[in-house]
Structure 1
Amino acid sequence: AANIIRGEKVQIVNNNNGERLETYAIPGPRNSGEVTLNGAAARKVAVGDVLILITYAWMELEEAKTFEPAMIFPNEENNMLN
């Protein structure tokens, strides 16, 4: 839903403990609503933490002026998109 692609650099902000880290996207099960951190990144979060995922893009100035980022807010009870 957020148009994040395989291998894309992702910055993760953990609202529960203040941790920030950078990693890359690996596809998970489609429509699962799941965000999983692997390896060392997994030590920075706990199940139930509220995360913000940020990605960046390079673009020409004129394109940037009209660019609309994707903002996704999953249902907090089941992680699914409404």
Structure 2
Amino acid sequence: MPTSSDSDLVARIVASTGLSPAEAARVVEDVVAFHAEPVEEYVRRRHAQLKTYGRKNPEIFARIAEELADRVVAAPALSERQLRRIVYG
């Protein structure tokens, strides 16, 4: 269920893009869900994605640490060891 601010955002997207209200609402829901992903899930997902493309762990963990710093809701700073523990337990 959208909040008042979500409704305002949906209306702004409708006005600026020409999307229907239903399409704009879906976009807002998708973006909110993306940013609501817990840090541990994000790290595991990105690690798997980057491994698929042949990246090595030192490069992967450095990249994930940079990405986490740039997220809208900043994740805590995690060391390479902490990132490894999320991925490997």
TM-score band (shorter)? under 0.3
TM-score normalised by structure 1 residue count: 0.28
- Structure with greater strand percent: 1
Compare CA radii of gyration and give the structure with the larger one: 2
**More relative contact order, 1 or 2 (CA 8 Å, 6+ apart):** 1
TM-score normalised by structure 2 residue count: 0.26
